[in-house]
Amino acid sequence: MSQIIALTLKNLKKIGIEHEIPNITEENAEFLKNLISERNPQHMLEIGTANGYSALHFSLALSESSDLVTIEQAWNMHTFAVENFKNCKVKNITAIWWDAKKILPKLRMEYFDLIYIDAMKKEYLEYFLASLTIATAYAVFIIDDVEKFRDKMEDFYEWLHDNQIPYKIEKTDIDDSIMIIERKDVVLWDKFS
C-alpha cells in the first residue's frame, strides 16, 4: 500500500469517528478485501460512498484491470471522497453523485460482478431489486449491517424469504454481519408465470 493511501485511510477513519460517519470497521474491510481478492471482480459497484474510506480499501484489493463505481447521494460526502481519491492518485474508482435508487436502473446491464450495498438501510430492497439487471449472471452481492439494523430492512428479509432466495450471513466483526447472495441463486419464478 502506498504511503499516501495508508495516511489517507488513517485520517479518514479519524474524521469518520469525529463526525460520526459510519465507515466500515478495519476487520470488515479486511474480510471484504479478502473476498474481493478471491472473487477477482472486473467491475465492482458500491452503494454508499460516504467519505471514500471503504472504496479506498477496496481499490487496494482490486486487480489492476478492475474498477470500482461508487454512488453517494450527499454532495458534501461525494466531493470529499473525490478529493481523497484524487489525492491518493487512485485511478480505478469512478464516483457518482446521485440517489442510487434513481441511477441504478440507468447503469449498464449485466456489467457488475460484485455489488456492495452500504447505504440507507430501509432502502436495501430497492437497491437490491434495481441491481439485479446490472449484475452479471455470476455476480455476488455483499450487503452490510444486516443484523444490527435488521428491523429497518424487514421488507428485504421478507422478500428473500417469499422468493426462497438463499443467503449466507458472515459475522465479520463484533459490531455486525454481512449477507452474501449469489446472483445465480436469484431465480424469480413469477417472471415466467
Closer Cβ to ligand SAM, 39 or 101, answer by number: 101
90 binds ligand SAM (CB under 6 A): no
CB atoms within 10 A of CB 164: 9
Closer Cβ to ligand SAM, 154 or 185, answer by number: 154
Region of 169 (left: φ > 0; alpha: ψ -120 to 50; beta: rest) is beta
Which residue in the block uniquely carries the three cell numbers 489525492? 87
Instruction: Find the binding residues for ligand SAM in span 1-30 (CB under 6 A).
Output: 22-24
117-137 in b/e form (b: 16+ CB < 10 A) is bbbbbebbbbbbbbbeebbbe
Q: Which amino acid appears at position 33 of this protein?
A: K
Burial class (CB in 10 A: 0-12, 13-18, 19+), 190: exposed
Please state the closest distance from residue 184 (CB atom) to ligand SAM, in A.
25
**Residue span binding ligand SAM (CB under 6 A) among the ranges 50-58, 60-68, 105-113, 184-192:** 50-58
115 binds ligand SAM (CB under 6 A): no
Please state the closest distance from residue 137 (CB atom) to ligand SAM, in A.
25
Site size for ligand SAM, by CB under 6 A?
19
Closer Cβ to ligand SAM, 22 or 105, answer by number: 22
Please state the closest distance from residue 121 (CB atom) to ligand SAM, in A.
9
